[in-house]
Structure formats: structure tokens, C-alpha cells
Amino acid sequence: MVYTGQVGGNKHTHKAGGVNYLCLSNDLENGESQKDGNTQLFGLDYEIGSSYKPSGMKGDMKNKEVPCAVCFQRRRSVHLMIPGRKTCYKGWTSEYSGFLMTDHKNHSSKDYLYVDKDAEPLDNKSSNEDGALLYGIRTKCGSLRCPPYKDATDVRCVVCTR
């Protein structure tokens, strides 16, 4: 473990600024307070209640903040996320499997995150701050070939190392 923290990102209604999610350290060394209004870093809230929760994911975590960890694996130099799978290919070691998630399709674009199937909230607080938001995503057949995909299904992922 290098460090633990909370996931942050730009507010779901902002049309410009950062698009990637960040694992923010709990051990801060911040700059000085400023008066301008260019706030772009908000805590990420799970929006995975009943309708957006991937099948097989535990608990209702709607409006709970998302924790994170940055890890280093000394003997494994290659890190690979494989979307659409829950197991690694032969010769690779599975670090965790879960679901591909991002902001809602009607909000501004954000990066995809790989969320462990056994994800937990940062704490028990659930105040619906609506900063950065995280939803489970589904497939859409058409330009995405079905088969092998199926329409409107959760997108699994696995993180593998070698």
C-alpha cells in the first residue's frame, strides 16, 4: 500500500475542466486558500442504489463517498484492466474483479473507473452532496456487436498483473 484516500473528480454538471477521477491522499499538503470560484475537485459519491447497482454488488451505497487505495506490487511490473471479463487470462494474476463505472450518460464525460465487486463506502455519511457521481454502466447493442455482448448488461472488469 502506497497510500489510501478518497476519490475526487469534477462536479457532474461542469462542462469543462478535469475529466479524470483522482485517488486523493488522506495525508494532505495543500496550497493556500483562494477567493476565485474555479472549484473543480469534489468528492465522488456512489449513485448505485437499486436501479444503477450492478447485479452481484453488495449493499446499497447511494450517496456514500468512494474510498481508494494506491498500491505497489514489487514483483509485478505490468498492470492491465480487462473490460468485459471477471477472470484473467492464463499467466496473469488477478488483483481484483468488479465492474466498470463512470458518471451518468447525461452528465459531462468522465473516465471509466474499475470498482471492486466488494466495494465499500468511505464512511457511513450519506448527505447527497451531488459533486462527482459514480454509476454502474450497461452495454448497448448496435455498433457494439451482440453476440458476444448482450444488450443492457452490467460491464464486468478484472485487474490483472504480471
Per cent of the chain over pLDDT 70 is: 99
Residue 126, pLDDT > 80, answer: no
The 3-state secondary structure of the chain, one letter per residue:
CCEEEEEEECCCCCCCCCCCCEEEECCCCCCCCCCCCCCCCEEEEECCCCCCCCCCCCCCCCCCECEEEECCCCCCCCEEEEECCCCCCCCCEEEEEEEEEECCCCCCCCCCEEEECCCCCCCCCCCCCCCEEEEECECCECCECCCCCCCCCECEEEEEEC
The mean pLDDT of the chain is 87
pLDDT in tens, 145-160: 999 989 999 999 999 9
Are 66 and 44 in contact, with CB atoms under 8 Å apart? yes
Residue 41, pLDDT > 90, answer: no
Domain locations along the chain: 3-161
pLDDT of res. 57 = 82
Residue 128 banded pLDDT, cuts 50, 70, 90:
confident
pLDDT in tens, 44-57: 998 887 777 788 88
Are 132 and 21 in contact, with CB atoms under 8 Å apart? yes
pLDDT in tens, 55-102: 888 777 888 899 998 888 788 788 899 999 999 999 999 999 999 999
pLDDT of res. 130 = 83
SS3 content of the chain, % helix, strand, coil (to 5): 0, 35, 65
User: Which three three-digit cell numbers place residue 92?
Assistant: 496473469
**DSSP three-state, residue 9:** strand
Under 8 Å CB-to-CB from 101, ≥6 apart: which residues?
48, 112, 113, 114, 115, 134, 135, 136, 137
- Under DSSP, the state recorded for 97 is E
Give the pLDDT mean for 103-127. 88
pLDDT of res. 67 = 93
pLDDT of res. 115 = 92
Whether a cis peptide bond, with omega within 30° of 0, leads into 67 is no
